[in-house]
């Protein structure tokens, strides 16, 4: 039986080269063979490692991007940085890791959007969001843990789609799109914090109506 840990290491090793080949060949067996040839890896072993097809290749690439992000923006480099800037820097680190492979990214997004791949794609998006929030220092364990990751996963997915098709200089459209979405996260978190204050500190619509009807004297 093959060692799963060894196969995972092989997948991570080949992932960036497969993404390079996918620019021209798509996420195919040909891309795996080309990456194996470039890396001096046995072609049959590489084919076995990615026997589950395109989603296995894309998953390995995303895990590679996770590692590149953590290397570019380790947790200690984000200490003392405002939360919106932490998230921005982490997303940008991920975009930097796929720069030059926009065609491969566009093809990957199309594959992930196929009905049979939606569940796996959602898990990958969640994993990417979780990795970002953890590096950003998030320690929430209640439902905030889930809402933060769900929101960031959606924003990141949308940003990737913009990035993959952005032909503006220096990806200006992507940067502007991301900044607007991050501002939306910050506004949402502030509003949520206000709604979840102590009961006697919360805004009460009923109390407001009561005061309008019976003004204080």
Q: Residue 10: what pLDDT?
A: 96
In this structure, the answer to whether residues 161 and 82 fall within a common structural domain is yes
Same domain, 70 and 110: yes
How many other C-beta atoms are found inside a 10 Å radius of the C-beta of residue 39? 14
110, 177: one domain: yes
Structural domain total, the chain = 2
Q: What average pLDDT does range 80-103 have in this prediction?
A: 95
DSSP 199: G
Q: What domain range includes position 176? A: 54-59+66-207
How far is CA 41 from each of CA 15, 63, 67, rounded to the nearest angstrom?
13, 20, 21
Q: Of 209, 207, 179, which is closest to residue 85 (Cα–Cα)? A: 179
Confirm whether 19 is domain-assigned: yes
Higher pLDDT, 189 or 93: 93
pLDDT at 205: 45
* Between residues 139 and 200, the one the model is more confident about: 139
Give pLDDT tens digits for 18-49: 999 999 999 999 999 999 999 999 999 999 99
CA angle 170, 181, 75 (to 5 degrees): 80
Select the more confidently predicted residue: 144 or 106: 106
What predicted TM-score, i.e. pTM, was given to this entire model?
0.84
203 pLDDT exceeds 90?
no
For every residue of 99-150, DSSP letters joined together read TT-HHHHHHHHHHHTSGGGHHHHHHHHHHHHHHHHHHTT----SHHHHHHHH
Q: Which residues contact 90 (CB under 8 A, 6 or more apart)?
A: 69, 73, 78, 132, 135, 136
Tokens of 53: 């097809």
Question: Which phi and psi angles does 137 have, rounded to 5°?
Answer: 95, 15
Residue 217 falls inside a structural domain: no
By mean pLDDT, which of 43-52, 120-129, 152-161, 206-215 is the weakest? Answer: 206-215
Residue 113 forms part of a structural domain = yes
User: Looking at the domain assignment, is residue 214 inside a domain?
Assistant: no
Domain harbouring 138, CATH code: 1.10.357
CB within 8 Å of 19: residues ≥ 6 apart: 61, 98, 101, 104
């Amino acid at each position: 039986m093959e060692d799963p840990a060894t196969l995972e290491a092989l997948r991570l090793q080949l992932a960036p080269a497969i993404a390079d080949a996918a620019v021209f060949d798509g996420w195919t067996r040909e891309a795996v063979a080309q990456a194996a040839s470039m890396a001096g890896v046995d072609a049959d072993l590489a084919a076995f490692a990615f026997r589950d097809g395109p989603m296995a290749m894309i998953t390995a690439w995303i895990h590679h991007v996770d590692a590149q992000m953590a290397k570019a923006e380790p947790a200690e480099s984000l200490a003392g940085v405002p939360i919106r800037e932490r998230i921005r820097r982490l997303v940008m680190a991920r975009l930097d890791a796929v720069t030059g492979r926009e065609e491969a990214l566009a093809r990957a997004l199309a594959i992930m959007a196929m009905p049979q791949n939606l569940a796996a794609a959602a898990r990958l998006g969640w994993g990417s969001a979780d990795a970002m929030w953890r590096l950003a220092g998030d320690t929430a364990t209640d439902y905030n843990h889930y809402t933060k990751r769900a929101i960031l996963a959606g924003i990141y997915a949308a940003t990737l789609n913009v990035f993959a098709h952005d032909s503006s200089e220096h990806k200006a459209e992507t940067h502007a799109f991301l900044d607007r979405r991050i501002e939306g996260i910050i506004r949402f978190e502030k509003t949520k914090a206000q709604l979840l204050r102590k009961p006697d500190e919360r805004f009460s619509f009923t109390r407001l109506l009561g005061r309008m009807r019976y003004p204080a004297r």
